[in-house]
Chains A and B, each alone.
Chain A
Amino acid sequence: MSHEYVKGYVKGQPAKPAHEGHHVMPLKTYLAVFGALMVLTVVTVLVSQAGLGSASLAVAMLVALIKAGFVVGYFMHLKYDVRFYSFVFFSTILFVGIFFLMTFADINTRDAMSAEWGNKRMKLDAQANVPPKPKKIEARSSGAGEIKAPEPAGAK
């Protein structure tokens, strides 16, 4: 866990840390990254309309992760900056992962040990509930074309 800055200090003389030289990236790189982000945005939209079903979420998240990688790596200079910033960033993601994983470890295993109820109680409840009636919304939104009436939740 030694740190650059202290190393630069050794003989009592504060020296500029080796890695903190200012890295100026060429304009071309920025434009290329922007292009890639635009392409990926189009991909996300197209994928969502391709009707991939349950895989849709995974694909959307994958594309978003790639986009995030470009933003973090190039726009935020993480690829060229002091390594410790990457450590901070990825540790943060790790702790977000712990938060998600452990919470879902509970949510997804509720009643898993009860054969009678199985693991589906919450989901069954969700389906049993009738969502608010669509026609009331229609009545309100008849004037505005772009707002579609919601389908009943159980209808799929």
Chain B
Amino acid sequence: MATTTVEGHGHDDHHDEKSFWTAKRGLWSWLSTVDHKRIGIMYLVGTMAAFGVAGVLAVLFRIELMTPEIDFFVDGALAGTAEGWAAGKELYNKMFTLHGALMVFVFIVPAVPAALGNFFLPLMLGAKDVAFPRLNLASLYIWITGTVILLFAILMGQLDTGWTFYTPYSSSGTGPVILATVGIFVLGFSSILTGVNFVVTVHKMRAPGMTWNRMPLFIWALYATAVIQVLATPVLAITLMLLLVESLFKIGIFNPEYGGDPVLFQHFFWFYSHPAVYIMILPGFGIVSELIAVHSKKHIFGYKAIALSSVSIAIISFLVWGHHMFVSGQSEFASALFSFLTFAVAVPTAIKVFSWVATLYKGSISWNTPMMYGLIFLFTFTIGGLTGVFLGALSVDVHFHDSYFVVAHFHYVMMGGTVIALLGGLHHWWPKMFGRMYNEKAGLVGAFIVFVGFNLTFFSQFMLGSQGMPRRYAEYLPEFQSYHVASSIGSFILAVGLFWTLFYLVHAIFKGKKAGPNPWGGVSLEWATASPPIEHNFHDTPHVDASPYNFPEIDPDMVEGHH
């Protein structure tokens, strides 16, 4: 193995040691665990459940949107009446709010860092655990609490503000908005704790010899993410607290009715939520760096450039939030400034994309599912990123604002970026987490269905948006119907692809072929321990003396008989 020299015995001598799955048994051993791997698995189950629920909601309102009128959401008895129309509209508003709030706050923010990150950060650093294991468990429980409060708020009543909670609509609301605010406030704390934990873990828990320049790029991405979580999330907390006080006491900070400034709320909100977009995508970048390098067996091109571009994206992300507010009544000067700064984000992002493409050049590419998701990512994320540059341009955004173009753009980034990367990461690390291989053919079929479904769903929405279809509307003009139908059909295909993926991945846990410790020939530290890893990750503290991308010469023998 090029990277690591494990002192003393190789791990093959330790067949007796149990994996983290079986080292302790019983429900209580899971509920009270401080093992980062088990916490990661529990986060994975939770975030995937949220993804499933929010996804089903999306499919439901895509069914509604197949026709210009509200019909699917209307109770049969009330069909055609004004009452039925109003009820259907309300249901639609609730559904997209629930979809957005669940996807953003419950699923995508914690999905990669708290699930895959928790599992692999200490493994890839060669550490026994994160720096604060009990804090890690606390963050899981806080996350569950926040999710329950948020769900309760939405199910309890009329929460139809969208996930952004803009004032004055939100601050004049009652019960559900206040409760949902509390829920997201709590979820924010979970995110902060994960961030603090990861920053300290990366600084203090690296194995001997693991210098900054020998850290896998996934770790760099998680580090940049954690920095954003630490710096931005507290502002969300205080914003929601102000919103809460505003709704309860009408003090007049945000609500113009009482002398406040609603645009100020948007400043506060986006100071968190724009960097939060990078909390969502940066870990995805990290996964893709791993996928592309490992599955083309080639040293990643521009290691330092990719690593530092993650950090610079984290910093620049704090300077561009005003591009969400071009039509809000923000001053022209501020809009121009924010628009200009927004273009700066494209530079480090493009550096990454070019480096990934250059890594593929003359690599020994395996056409397996993780690599396929890596390639899909390059395709869809580039579309998402470039349309982001369109929207960052002040003059263009004024027209596209609050249209389906924006919806398509951020789904190309969040779904086509983060979720695709997450799927790739799951396939890449599934053998490590569960010790079993998934069926490769099933994986490729799944990736194909997801790719087709995703693009049909959201490319149609680019067309809709560019023709003027506004977002968040339950009804629309008949001329938009063909694209809406295409988009809905795409969403059904996407759903089929995702359920298919869920099916064969879960099947693999029970029936899959046993995976060795290193099925892909990776050289970062997580591949140096057993699959699934033992409870303390490594028998002996690993020592690192080279880059995590120093693959042996491309040679089938080396790859096959790695040990």
Interface residues in chain A, defined as those with a beta carbon under 8 Å from any beta carbon in chain B: 1-3, 5-6, 9-10, 12, 14, 84, 92, 95, 98-99, 102-103, 105-113, 122, 129
Tell me if A105 and B208 are in contact (CB < 8 A): no
Tell me if A6 and B211 are in contact (CB < 8 A): yes
Tell me if B333 and A113 are in contact (CB < 8 A): yes
Tell me if B319 and A102 are in contact (CB < 8 A): yes
Tell me if A5 and B203 are in contact (CB < 8 A): yes
Q: Which residue of A lies closest to B325 (CB)?
A: A106
Instruction: Flag B265-276 by CB within 8 Å of A: 1 or 0 each.
Output: 001000100000
- What chain B residues lie within 8 Å of A5 (beta carbons)? 203-204
- What chain B residues lie within 8 Å of A99 (beta carbons)? 235, 271, 318
- What chain A residues lie within 8 Å of B263 (beta carbons)? 106
Bound-complex Cα distance A2 to B213 (A): 9
Instruction: Flag B236-275 by CB within 8 Å of A: 1 or 0 each.
Output: 0000000000000000000000010101100100010000
Q: Which residue of A lies closest to B208 (CB)?
A: A9
- What chain A residues lie within 8 Å of B318 (beta carbons)? 95, 98-99
B277 interface residue per 8 A CB criterion: no
B145 interface residue per 8 A CB criterion: no
Bound-complex Cα distance A14 to B209 (A): 11
A5-B204, A98-B318, A102-B319 known; A109-B211 Cβ under 8 A: no
Tell me if B319 and A98 are in contact (CB < 8 A): yes
- What chain B residues lie within 8 Å of A9 (beta carbons)? 208-209
How far in angstroms is the closest Cβ of chain B from A113? Answer: 5
- What chain B residues lie within 8 Å of A113 (beta carbons)? 331-333
Tell me if B208 and A106 are in contact (CB < 8 A): no
Tell me if B259 and A109 are in contact (CB < 8 A): no
Give the residues from 509 to 553 in chain B that come closer than 8 angstroms, CB to CB, to chain A: 541, 543
Tell me if B267 and A103 are in contact (CB < 8 A): yes
Bound-complex Cα distance A109 to B380 (A): 38
Tell me if A106 and B212 are in contact (CB < 8 A): no
Q: Which residue of B lies closest to A110 (CB)?
A: B331
Tell me if A6 and B235 are in contact (CB < 8 A): no
Instruction: Flag B169-210 by CB within 8 Å of A: 1 or 0 each.
Output: 000000000000000000000000000000000011010111
User: Which of B235, B259, B334: most chain A Cβ within 10 A?
Assistant: B334
- What chain A residues lie within 8 Å of B206 (beta carbons)? 6
B350 interface residue per 8 A CB criterion: no
Tell me if B319 and A106 are in contact (CB < 8 A): no
How far in angstroms is the closest Cβ of chain A from B253? Answer: 13
A-B contact pairs, 14 of them (CB 8 A): A1-B212, A9-B208, A10-B208, A95-B318, A99-B318, A102-B321, A102-B334, A105-B331, A105-B337, A106-B267, A108-B331, A111-B331, A113-B333, A129-B259
B368 interface residue per 8 A CB criterion: no
A99-B235, A129-B259 known; A105-B212 Cβ under 8 A: no
Tell me if A6 and B210 are in contact (CB < 8 A): yes
- What chain A residues lie within 8 Å of B543 (beta carbons)? 12
Tell me if B211 and A2 are in contact (CB < 8 A): yes
Bound-complex Cα distance A129 to B259 (A): 10
B330 interface residue per 8 A CB criterion: yes
- What chain A residues lie within 8 Å of B209 (beta carbons)? 9-10, 12
User: Which of A1, A9, A106, A122: most chain B Cβ within 10 A?
Assistant: A106
- What chain B residues lie within 8 Å of A109 (beta carbons)? 331-334
Q: Which of A10, A106, A110 is B322 in contact with, Cβ under 8 Å? A: A106
How far in angstroms is the closest Cβ of chain B from A2? Answer: 6
Tell me if B319 and A112 are in contact (CB < 8 A): no
User: Which of B261, B332, B337, B543: most chain A Cβ within 10 A?
Assistant: B332
Bound-complex Cα distance A122 to B263 (A): 13
- What chain B residues lie within 8 Å of A14 (beta carbons)? 208
- What chain A residues lie within 8 Å of B333 (beta carbons)? 105-106, 109, 112-113
Given A5-B204, A6-B210, A98-B318, 5 other A-B residues pairs in contact with their CB atoms under 8 A: A84-B203, A102-B337, A102-B338, A112-B331, A112-B332
Tell me if A95 and B264 are in contact (CB < 8 A): no
How far in angstroms is the closest Cβ of chain A from B126? Answer: 11
How far in angstroms is the closest Cβ of chain B from A102? Answer: 7
How far in angstroms is the closest Cβ of chain B from A81? Answer: 15
- What chain A residues lie within 8 Å of B204 (beta carbons)? 5
